[in-house]
């Protein structure tokens, strides 16, 4: 039976997929290790979205880009749409 996922969970999953695409493109390169660490960090966002319906307990008052590492995000602009979508979903659910 398919699992019903919230918009926040879907947005977090899309961010993970975007990071995985970057990681796959970098395999065998030195920067792949940093991208793999970012990918693991992004799973924390999905776990938070699933457990509490909010990513703010993980990122606090900062942004998703800050949580993942602003330098890494700046070097990987292809993930920005997924980050923006996740932040928009998180803000929609914020009180």
Q: What is the pLDDT of residues 39-84, one digit of tens each?
A: 999 999 999 998 888 899 899 989 999 999 999 999 999 999 999 9
**pLDDT value of position 37:** 95
Domain that holds residue 79: 7-93
Q: Which two tokens stand for residue 56?
A: 């703010």
The answer to whether position 78 is within a domain reads: yes
Mean per-residue pLDDT over the chain, rounded: 91
Q: What is the pLDDT of residues 71-80, one digit of tens each?
A: 999 999 999 9
Decide if pLDDT at 2 tops 70: no
pTM: 0.90
The answer to whether position 2 is within a domain reads: no
The answer to whether position 85 is within a domain reads: yes
The answer to whether position 72 is within a domain reads: yes
Instruction: Give the whole-angstrom CA distance, residue 49 versus residue 10.
Output: 9
Instruction: Give the whole-angstrom CA distance, residue 67 versus residue 58.
Output: 8
Instruction: Give the whole-angstrom CA distance, residue 48 versus residue 22.
Output: 23
The answer to whether position 64 is within a domain reads: yes
79 CA to centre of own chain: 9
The answer to whether position 1 is within a domain reads: no
How many domains is the chain built from? Answer: 1
């Amino acid at each position: 039976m398919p699992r019903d996922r919230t918009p926040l969970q879907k947005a977090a999953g899309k961010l993970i997929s975007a990071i995985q695409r970057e990681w796959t493109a970098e395999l065998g390169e030195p920067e792949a290790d940093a991208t793999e660490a970012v990918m693991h960090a992004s799973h924390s966002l999905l776990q938070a979205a699933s457990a509490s319906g909010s990513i703010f307990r993980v990122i606090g008052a900062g942004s998703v880009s800050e949580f993942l590492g602003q330098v890494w995000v700046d070097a990987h602009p292809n993930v920005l749409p997924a980050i923006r979508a996740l932040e928009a979903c998180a803000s929609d659910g914020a009180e």
